[in-house]
Amino acid sequence: MAVLAQGLLAALFSRWFKLAVWWWLIQFLLPLALLVTFTLHLPAFLFLSGFLLLLVLYGHTFRTQVPYYPSNRATWDAIVQFLPADRSFKLIDTGSGTGGLVLNLAARYPNSEIIGVELAPLLWLFSKLRARFTRSRAQFIRADYHHFDFSQFDIVFAYLSPAAMPTLWQKAHREMRPGTILLSNEFFISEKAADAIIQTEGMRVPLYAWHM
């Protein structure tokens, strides 16, 4: 009962601080998970394995300050209105994660070049395999987006973090050509007000757009 009370209290605090709904569930289940773990007397190597897996998945976060933020289908649909309807284009997703956005746009625009860049090796591998199994024309590259010249792209999409936005804007302002578009999901650029802000009913967070 004490563990249940602790989990419920943590979930209520999560709601009070207006955290995402999935945080409520994590906060509620964590004390129960700890209780079960201690009861089962699990071998230590399982915890080491879990740590190593998380290190591979998120170890780059210490350097980039960009955790994994997945976008949703409503955001993908919102992006479409910024894409040219009468010609092919080149788009880069600066942190493509598991590849959902890139695969979706590659299917919608088979004559355009859609590139996903991901630094986390397992996320990159997963998206690469998704593209291969679905025979998608999407390209997935394991790299840091800073190594790419933004002048090569018509649209740059980012779902990074507040810490990464100043550097992203400096790079975009320096490299992107006039007439191209910078899109950022959830996180805005304090140096310049967005030219458009979109948040439909199905979108969890707004989409910001800057016309370069």
Burial of 39 (0-12, 13-18, 19+ CB in 10 A): exposed
Is the domain spanning 73-211 CATH 3.40.50.150? The answer is: yes
Q: Give the pLDDT of residue 152.
A: 97
At 52 the pLDDT is 82
According to DSSP, the β-strands at 90-93 and 155-158 are parallel
Q: Is the pTM of the predicted complex or chain greater than 0.85?
A: no
Task: Round to whole Å and give the CA distance between 89 and 177.
Answer: 13
Residue 114: predicted pLDDT: 98
Domain borders along the chain are 2-64, 73-211
| Alpha carbon distance, N-terminus to C-terminus of the chain | 57
